[in-house]
Amino acid sequence: MSNGDNGHVRPRSRSTPVAYLQLVRLPNIFTAMADVAMGFLVVHAVAKPVDAWVLGLLVATSSLLYASGVVLNDVFDYRRDAVDRPERPLPSGRISVSAARGLGWMLLVLALAPACGAGILEGNFRPVGVAALLAGCVVLYNAVAKRTLGGPVVMGACRMLNVLLGMSVARQSLSLPYWLIAGGIGVYIIGVTWFARTEARQSNRLQLALALVVMMSGIAMLACLPYVDGSVIRGVKPHGWPLLIGVLGALIGWRCLLAVFDPKPLLVQIAVKMCILSLIMLDAAVCLACYAGRSNQQAMLATVLILMLLLPAMVLGQWIDST
């Protein structure tokens, strides 16, 4: 296969299961699971008991869509990766571009099946509509928007829709706090995506600094939750929630600041990995706050369910590249 730059033929190695796990960014899939599970659990904090089957189907939908998105990302970025990231499965020849293309589109289509199952169990097809919209944004990002100024915004919309996918089974209408939760996660990811745009080479300090401001703005949106009319986290102490979110924001921000001061690829990539994994911490914190004051046992179970996703994400991230 041509590497797209020097005309030489790159020897093709045999595809391995590890190469496919690297292709789908397996560690990051657990962050997508955390987002959709958080959205699902938040809308159940007030209304009705949790249906584990529906939660499982929504998590499957989210996971398949995320895997599809990163596979198609590598398909569309093949020539650029041959220069910037030659170790990735496609430019290294471990997986063919045609095989990856087929896998990406297959995963995208398959993702709608569990969404339909969740819709049938719930008696409404909002999950299918949200999943279809999310699939459209995945394609839009990879095929059109990624290299444009709107790329980070489309990626942020994907994460926001992932949270809304979990919330789509709510019997009650979604009030402002729910949109603030989904929007805060979306804005945070806009910043992370912008921060990561040039992670494979020396980044611009101003771009990194502005991206960090956007990230912190998303976290600030979450910090405002107790003060919004119809808040779903009234059970927490008045200053406890902003303090918790502030600590999480500081832990995320200091690693990013290191990359701002020294924007070499390694430090930027480490910061991006931490930002992505920190999504699980943010999701767990939102769950804890939404269940606080209602049932301590439910609060702990919901929070632990989200936090448990951090372990496989961190362990797998030691040997499978997540960026």
What would the DSSP string read from start to end of 263-302? Answer: --HHHHHHHHHHHHHHHHHHHHHHHHHHHTTT-HHHHHHH
In this structure, what are the phi and psi dihedrals at residue 42, rounded to the nearest 5 degrees? -65, -45
Both ends of the chain: CA-CA distance in Å? 24
Domains of the chain: 18-317 (1.10.357.140)
Structural contact between residues 252 and 274, judged by C-beta atoms closer than 8 angstroms: yes
pLDDT at site 199: 81
How buried is residue 123: exposed, middle or buried, by Cβ count under 10 Å (0-12/13-18/19+)? exposed
Integer angstrom CA distances of residue 34 from 86, 120, 130, 260 = 30, 23, 17, 28
Residue with tokens 């910090």: 223
SS3 category, 9: strand
Per-residue model confidence as pLDDT tens digits over 154-168:
999 999 999 999 999
3-state secondary structure of 8: coil
More confident call, 147 vs 193 = 193
- Interhelix angle 97-110/126-140, rounded to 10 degrees, is 160
CA–CA gap between residue 291 and residue 302 (Å, rounded): 8
- For residue 207, give the 3-state DSSP assignment: helix
Separation CA 25–CA 158 (nearest Å): 16
**Residues 218, 190: contact at Cβ < 8 Å?**
yes
pLDDT over 60 (residue 130) = yes
d(CA 96, CA 184): 37
Pull the structure tokens for residue 252: 């995320």
pLDDT (mean) for 222-234: 75
Angle between helices 176-195 and 151-167 (to 10 degrees): 140
> Residue 56 and residue 67: Cα distance in Å, rounded?
16
pTM of the model: 0.90
Q: Note the pLDDT tens digit of each residue in 37-79.
A: 999 988 887 656 678 899 999 999 999 999 999 999 999 999 9
Residue 316 pLDDT > 50, yes or no? yes
